[in-house]
Amino acid sequence: MSRRYTKADLDEIVYSQLENLDAMHDLLRIMKVQNELLDNANKKLRQEISDFKNKQVRYTIPKKRRS
């Protein structure tokens, strides 16, 4: 049941694993860039919301006087 691997078989396995690792590394790099973009967008949005809240004019409605 055991299979004998030749050096060529093992080289092929190792190179395919290396290609997979390189592909995963590329995906992780892309995800890191996307996370940084999301962080920057969140910071900008948080700042814009804060600025908007600070610029809002709050009107108070006077209460009716009781007789």
User: pLDDT tens, 8-55?
Assistant: 999 999 999 999 999 999 999 999 999 999 999 999 999 999 999 888
Q: How far is CA 18 from CA 9, 23, 58, in A?
A: 14, 9, 62
| pTM for this model (two decimals) | 0.64
Q: What is the pLDDT of residue 59?
A: 74
Task: Check whether 66 has a pLDDT greater than 80.
Answer: no
Q: What is the pLDDT of residue 58?
A: 72
Q: What is the pLDDT of residue 67?
A: 57
From its phi and psi, is residue 61 left (phi > 0), alpha (psi between -120 and 50) or beta?
beta
Task: Check whether 2 has a pLDDT greater than 90.
Answer: no
